[in-house]
Amino acid sequence: MIDDFFKISLRGLKNKGIRSWLTMVGIFVGIAAIVSLISLGEGLQNAMFEQFEMLGYDLIYVMPGSSLASVYTTSSKLTDQDLEIIKDVRGVEIAGGFVTKLAQIEYRGEIEYAWVSGMGVETQEIFLDGTGIEMVKGRDRFREGDTYKAAVGYEYWSGNVFEKPVGVGDRIKINGKKFEIIGEISRIGNSDDDRNIYILMDTAEELFDVENEYITIMARVKPNYDIEKVADEIKKEIRRDRGLKEGEEDFQVQTMQQLVDSVSIILDAVQAVVIGIAFISLFVGGLGIMNTMYTSVLERTQEIGVMKAVGAKNSDILVLFMIESGTIGLVGGLVGCVIGGGLSKGVEYIAALLLDQVLIKASLTPELIIGSLAFSFIVGCISGMLPARQASQLKPVDALRYE
């Protein structure tokens, strides 16, 4: 019986021709928006989680300022004293600091501006051990006394910054000082991070005229220690040293899990807003289906009368018209999935080709496709409920006499 209903519904859609496709416009626009946005959102989340996992969940980041946005603008600083306090906290295996400044980079007469990070020997152990980041060519580590030596990120040795790639053995100028390239850093995935240049801390302090100042302190927690408890203890000890009360911190202590949670909240909020806009299109599409189904009831009044005359029940007529409206939604959803999937994959391709951005990925899971199709079918059924009810309540005699 249900098979027959679907056959009749498909025949009805075919007979309506262009009107059926116009009815579906709102549905497949809404579904396309939902599929493309959710797939890109999930793909971005998955790519970012992979980055976080690569960096390691046993790391704690201490930064100046009360929020991530204030790291580069705050007047508060992290110093050697803070670093020593962190090293003494129970559960901390190793800790080291970064100083990062924007600098002028010159290579073969070309000039660019990029971030240059100075790190100590201990910091590079954290940065290069257990994070998946490594020097893929040249030296595997900086050594004490490596004055005016540098390692370059992926964007330099792949040739995406200057006209020619910058590799091991080449020489560049940073703020007018000559540096020899001794290592090439593996690709991290974020174009900003992959444009970074790394030098030793002593050289950075001399180059940027800074002393006893860090933009970030990284600490690695010993195995079998609760990272959240260690982070709380670090915050407590620095707060005590600075004479600050709880809630008045001019610094922040972040674990990798906290960073993941913060990013997830932001991505979910953005995704919810945009998907909410897409639902407006689905609502308009639902109204279009309802209008089409009311017209269909009027056009097929005599047909309904014949079906009732040969024994069709009110419930049969109701199910028939609801399946027909649901089929409109389902076909619209199918077209929307194809369009949405194509859009999301297109964005992924353009991001990788033009922006060299590997974090923007589309995740088209079976759950997303099946869920979208089911949702579009349900929207169609709900939209056709009132017209279907009207059709089911027609009296056979009145329906047969209708012209």
Q: What is the pLDDT of residue 70?
A: 47
Residue 110 within any structural domain of the chain: yes
Residue 71 within any structural domain of the chain: no
Q: Which of 210, 228, 249 is the last residue of a domain?
A: 249
Tens digits of residue pLDDT in 63-77: 887 655 445 555 678
Q: Which of 249, 271, 287 is the last residue of a domain?
A: 249
Do 303 and 182 belong to one domain? no
Tens digits of residue pLDDT in 145-188: 888 999 999 889 988 889 899 989 999 999 999 999 999 988 87
Do 266 and 350 belong to one domain? yes
Residue 224 within any structural domain of the chain: yes
Question: What is the extent of the structural domain holding 333?
Answer: 2-52+261-401
Do 147 and 245 belong to one domain? yes
Do 271 and 387 belong to one domain? yes
Do 143 and 290 belong to one domain? no
Amino acid occupying residue 66: S
Q: What is the pLDDT of residue 4?
A: 60
Count structural domains, the chain: 2
* CA distance to 77, 123, 128, 211, 234, per residue, from 85 (Å): 14, 16, 23, 18, 8
Q: Which of 249, 276, 311 is the last residue of a domain?
A: 249
Q: Would you say the pTM of this structure is higher than 0.75?
A: no
Amino acid occupying residue 189: G
Q: From 367, 378, 370, 366, select the one nearest 285 (Cα to Cα).
A: 378
Is the CB of residue 207 less than 8 Å from the CB of residue 178? no
Q: What is the pLDDT of residue 56?
A: 64
- Taking 70 as the pLDDT cut, the residues of the chain under it are 1-23, 51-56, 66-75, 129-132, 281, 293-294, 296-304, 306, 308, 310, 312, 354-359, 394-403
